[in-house]
């Protein structure tokens, strides 16, 4: 009887997962074996689309760029969010205002923010070059989005403004830490950074996992920043997997190849999630 109810409760979740994820995923896999321009009859080409994608230097570049985004998220964005959370956790003057300010970019249109950054980086009228000129470092002014060496980092930097969500998740976890534990640590003589390093950081590990997953998902879906700021250029140096999929479908009308790009993106996402969960379980086992 209980099991019957259990299935009943699970039914909506299973239904939506099947209709909106499993079925489309199978359809994507199906189309990936065809040459199709979206209009004409589909022509079965076997694994040719997979070979084309794996030998396409633009796909390899998009894959690498997405990995760079993920590394920036894990190695820079999350530690930054943790540091801010630990700082705000000390209830410094105006901490609630800062919390709101940090979170604000998360509720603003990504497209609008991408345009804003486009103009910050603009060679002639950009704020960044203007500031460099203003402080006597005009020799460093450049076309940040048009030069091969700076375009990718320049499109990644705006990611930092979303640190508010990461910070809030860490703060939520910090709020669950028992006062008894904090008092015990204080009685033992722990102060400042010692509390952070030995009490708070070990106890926010579940939040680290959550943040890694959310940030990896953001990077895998990341489309607007490279699309608005550089159209994926110059010479595809800022193209991400999401933009590669879009370009293959909308610009080149290569639906089959676009679907293969989607499948590899899903696989990358799954691998990363399994890895993160595995690491988390491993730590729990320790």
Partner 1 sequence: MFAEAGITEFPDTWDGLLEACKTLQDAGYGGFSLFTGDDAWYSINLITALWIANDGAVTVNASTSFNTPGMIDALNTYKEFCKYSTSDVIGGNYSVAGANFSSKKTTMAIDGSWFTSYQDEAVIPSIGVAPMPTNGDGVAQQGYLVTDAQTPWAASAQTDPAKEAAIAEFMKFITTEESTKTLTMEGSVVLSAKLELSDADLAGVTEQMASYLETNGDAPSRTTNLQRNLSTQAGAELPTLLESFLLDQITAEQFCEQLDELN
Q: How far is the CB of 229 from partner 1 (least distance, A)?
A: 8
Q: How far is the CB of 28 from partner 1 (least distance, A)?
A: 20
| Complex with partner 1: residue 169 or 257, whichever CB lies closer | 257
DSSP string, the chain: -HHHHHHHHHHHHHHHHIIIIIHHHHHHHHHTTEE--SSS--EE-TTHHHHHHHT-HHHHHHHHHHHHHHHHIIIIIHHHHHHHHHHHHTT-TTHHHHHHHHHGGGGS-HHHHHHHHHHHH-TTT-HHHHHHHHTT-GGG---TTTSTTTHHHHHHGGGGGGHHHHHHHHHHHHHTS-HHHHHHHHHTT--HHHHIIIIIHHHTHHHHHHHHHHHHHHHHH--HHHHHHTTT-STTTT--HHHHHHIIIIIS--HHHHHHHHHHHHHHHHHHHHHHHHHHHHHHH-
Q: How far is the CB of 118 from partner 1 (least distance, A)?
A: 9
| Complex with partner 1: residue 124 or 286, whichever CB lies closer | 124
Integer CA distances (angstroms), 101 to 12, 48, 108, 114, in order? 37, 50, 12, 18
Scanning the structure block, which residue is given the tokens 């790009």?
261
Q: How far is the CB of 251 from partner 1 (least distance, A)?
A: 4
| Complex with partner 1: residue 77 or 247, whichever CB lies closer | 247
The angle that helices 95-103 and 78-89 make with each other, rounded to 10 degrees, is 160
Binding residues vs partner 1 (CB under 8 A) = 37, 58, 122-124, 143, 145-146, 148, 151, 229-231, 233-236, 247-248, 251-254
Residues 73 and 163: their CA atoms lie apart, in Å, by 10
| Complex with partner 1: residue 231 or 280, whichever CB lies closer | 231
Q: How far is the CB of 244 from partner 1 (least distance, A)?
A: 11
| Complex with partner 1: residue 64 or 123, whichever CB lies closer | 123
Q: How far is the CB of 74 from partner 1 (least distance, A)?
A: 28
| Complex with partner 1: residue 251 or 277, whichever CB lies closer | 251
| Complex with partner 1: residue 58 or 106, whichever CB lies closer | 58
Q: How far is the CB of 145 from partner 1 (least distance, A)?
A: 6
């Amino acid at each position: 009887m209980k099991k019957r109810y259990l299935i009943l409760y699970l039914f909506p979740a299973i239904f939506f997962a099947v209709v909106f994820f499993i079925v489309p995923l199978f359809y994507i896999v199906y189309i990936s074996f065809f040459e199709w321009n979206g209009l004409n009859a589909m022509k079965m080409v076997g694994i040719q689309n997979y070979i084309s994608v794996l030998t396409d230097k633009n796909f390899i570049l998009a894959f690498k760029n997405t990995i760079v985004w993920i590394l920036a998220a894990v190695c820079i964005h999350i530690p930054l969010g943790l540091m801010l959370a630990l700082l705000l956790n000390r209830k410094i003057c105006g901490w609630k205002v800062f919390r709101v300010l940090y979170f604000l970019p998360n509720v603003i249109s990504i497209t609008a923010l991408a345009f804003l950054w486009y103009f910050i980086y603009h060679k002639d009228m950009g704020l960044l070059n203007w500031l460099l000129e203003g402080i006597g470092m005009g020799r460093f002014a450049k076309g940040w989005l048009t030069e091969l060496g700076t375009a990718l980092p320049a499109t990644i930097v705006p990611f930092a403004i979303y640190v508010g969500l990461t910070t809030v998740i860490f703060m939520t976890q910090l709020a669950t830490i028992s006062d008894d534990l904090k008092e015990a640590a204080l009685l033992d003589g722990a102060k400042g950074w010692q509390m952070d390093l030995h009490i708070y950081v070990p106890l926010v590990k579940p939040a680290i996992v959550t943040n890694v997953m959310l940030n990896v998902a953001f990077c895998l879906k990341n489309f607007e920043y490279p699309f608005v700021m550089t159209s994926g250029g110059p010479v595809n140096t800022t193209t991400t997997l999401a933009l590669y999929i879009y370009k293959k479908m909308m610009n080149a009308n290569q639906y089959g190849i676009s679907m293969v790009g989607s499948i590899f993106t899903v696989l990358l996402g799954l691998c990363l999630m399994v890895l993160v969960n595995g690491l988390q379980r491993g730590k729990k086992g320790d």
